[in-house]
Amino acid sequence: MEIRGQMEPGEQSWLEAFILSTEDALTTMAAVNCAYRESIPLTTELIADRIYATMPVTGNATGYVGIAIYASLAAQVIAAVMGCNAEDIAGTDVAGGICELLNIIAGNTKARLKDTGSHFEITPPVEADAASIARQYISEPPGVGILFDVLDSSFLILVNLQEG
């Protein structure tokens, strides 16, 4: 199993689990519509000008799972979760909130896959910069960007896993 390159939902359970877990997390936690658009190979241009969180994954799959989101959208989503205005969210709250969102999405994905034999372990997510994200996700072949539309914007769940 590899999660790299271009895939469509239904082609494999990992991708479907990430899509469902992301949509559920945003709908439940932030009460916003979150719709899967497409999965595409990651490029430097695709992830530019965003804020990032990432986590190593081990077990039957090894690699990285992350999130790349525009700062303004991140503030809106975190504010919705916290029940306040986006203007009231400080930068550290946004970064911490995005790490927590990634943790929830990865944890829910892990739970969805528990009975499939596709066991993996997650670690606490950390903030990352563009250079770190490029090293972890943009290689040959590149990782997958799972693109979602939310609140008149978009964000990516980043996945670069190989069967361990």
Q: Say which DSSP state 138 is in.
A: -
Report the run of H or E that residue 17 belongs to, with start and end.
Answer: helix 13-29
Tell me which residue of 123, 154, 146 sits closest to 14, measured CA to CA.
Answer: 146
Number of other CB atoms surrounding residue 1 within 10 Å: 12
Instruction: For residue 84, give both structure tokens.
Output: 């306040």
* Domain CATH code at residue 88: 3.40.1550.10
Amino acid symbol at 92: T
- Summarised one tens digit per residue, pLDDT across range 81-140 is 888 888 888 777 889 999 999 999 999 998 888 777 677 899 999 999 999 999 899 876
- DSSP assignment letter at 143: B
Higher pLDDT, 57 or 3: 57
Mean pLDDT, all residues of the chain: 86
How many domains does one find in the chain?
Answer: 1
What is the residue range of 19's domain? 2-163
pLDDT for 164 equals 59
pLDDT at 3 over 60: no
Q: Where are the alpha helices (DSSP H) in 54-157?
A: 71-82, 91-112, 130-137
